[in-house]
Structure 1
Amino acid sequence: MGTSGVDKTVQDVMHRGAQCVGEHDTLRTAAQMMRDLSVGALPICGDDDRLKGIITDRDIVIKCCAEGKDIDQTTASELAHGLVWVEARSSVEEALQKMEQHQIKRLPVIENHRIVGMVSEADLAKELPDNKLAEFVHRVYAPA
């Protein structure tokens, strides 16, 4: 059956080539990118090509639309949150621990100070035995 999940690194299971939304791009641009890429989250990169945060489709709806803000004036950096990431060579277990600790479902993956991909709970879940999967889901979705 191959290598077990605990022996794999994040780069073995991540989605490669994550596209960033620019920190000065509007939320409309971010939403259109999410639509075009069929993703629910985007890393936010600065002018220096460094990770500044992450934005989700839920952030746009809750923190912009529901608050009456203009999606054509609000920038991605205004809603940036959680500068949590994982190194590409980190273990699947380390990524799981970060997701559990921060109760997040997606992590940008960094290599040589640049974003190289994204890893999601679904990517990691495929690598876990059933008992670990149940524990992980409980911790990530537990109320804060």
Structure 2
Amino acid sequence: MNVSAYMSAPAVSVNATTTIGEAARCMDLHGVGCLVVTEGTVLRGIVTDRDIAMRAVAGEFDRDDPVGAVMTAPAVTVDAAQDIHAAYQTFRNSGVRRLPVLDGHRVVGMLTVDDLLMDVFRRVADLLGPVAWSVLEEPPGPRDEIGPRARKQGKSPPASRGS
């Protein structure tokens, strides 16, 4: 599968002159941990919540300073048409947690380590489903208070408290 099947779109973007304070508010508003920094449609860098915490706050930048002063540039990217395994390799080799996704030179989305973890979890769940059904005496899911196993073993329901 291609990277585009796993990415979040569109990526939230700001320009390099956006203030650090505005960038932080933008992340909060959109519920994201990073913003792509663009000039028109051209990617100039990426700024993460960690960049703001570690470079801006710890580096004693002012909230009115431009986000371009604390962004990471150039950003490590991945192409939307690449196979998802290329993204795994890029994450492994670069050590970053977020990758802007490009279609040519245009930013079309964002791929995060969390996106790939969700894919892994879904795949593991797909594998475990048949195994779980073959090992369990009963299907997974809610049961009544004593449950089928307890009835099979002749157990009575638990006594109610306060009686």
Q: TM-score range by the shorter chain?
A: 0.7 to 0.9
Q: How does 1:13-52 map to 2 (within 5 A)?
A: 13-46=6-39, 48-52=40-44
Instruction: Report the counterpart of residue 11 of structure 1 in structure 2.
Output: 4
CA contact (8 A) 2:97 2:112 kept: yes
In percent, how many aligned pairs have the same letter? 31
Point out which structure has higher relative CO (alpha carbons under 8 A, 6+ apart).
Answer: 1
Task: Output the amino acid matched with 2:82.
Answer: S
Q: How does 1:1-144 map to 2 (within 5 A)?
A: 8-46=1-39, 48-72=40-64, 74-81=65-72, 82-128=74-120
CA distance in 2, matches of 1:90, 1:124: 14
CA distance in 2, matches of 1:53, 1:95: 18
CA distance in 1, matches of 2:58, 2:118: 35
CA distance in 2, matches of 1:85, 1:61: 22
Gap runs ≥5 in structure 1: 1-7, 131-144
In the superposition, the TM-score normalised over structure 2's length comes to 0.70
- CA displacement 1:69-98 (0-9 Å, x = unmatched): 1111x2121112142101101111111111
Gap runs ≥5 in structure 2: 125-163
- CA displacement 1:31-54 (0-9 Å, x = unmatched): 0100000011111112x3211111
